[in-house]
Amino acid sequence: MENCIFCKIVAGEIPSPRLYEDEKMIVIRDIEPKAKLHYLCIPKTHFALFSEMDEGGAEIVKHCFQVIPALEKALGLEDGYRVIVNQGENGGQTVPHLHIHLLGGEKLADF
C-alpha cells in the first residue's frame, strides 16, 4: 500500500530494527513509547481494521497472537503486559495499518 508508513517499514524502505520477524509479521519498538517497554506487532499484509479483514488477514492475526506469548521473555514482558489494537478515529488509530501494541516493563495505570 502506497504511503503507508508500516508497509514501508515492512518493506525495509524505512529502517526500523526488527526484534522479531517471520513470514507474516514483524515486531519493532514504538518510536514514541507510552510505557517503559512499548512494541508494535505489525502484520506484513496491509489492512487497517478488523472490519476489513478477510480469511487471510484473520490467519495472520491469529498467527500474531500465537507468536506474541512465545516472545514474552525475550521482550521483557514476562511480568505482564497490555495488548491494545486501536481501531479508527474514535479508537485513536493514527496509522491505518492494523498493528498490535504491547506495553509493559512496568506496572501500567488502570484504565
Of 103, 64, 63, 62, the C-alpha closest to 80 is 103
Among this protein's residues, is 99 annotated catalytic?
yes
The listed partner (Zn ion, ligand 5GP, none) that binds 16, CB under 5 to 8 Å by sort, is: ligand 5GP
53 touches Zn ion (CB under 5 A):
no
Nearer to ligand 5GP, 67 or 93 (CB): 93
User: What is the Cα–Cα distance from 15 to 8, expressed in whole angstroms?
Assistant: 9
For residue 66, what is its C-alpha cell?
500465537
Q: Which of residues 64-103 bind ligand 5GP (CB under 6 A)?
A: 86, 92-95
- Catalytic (active-site) positions: 99
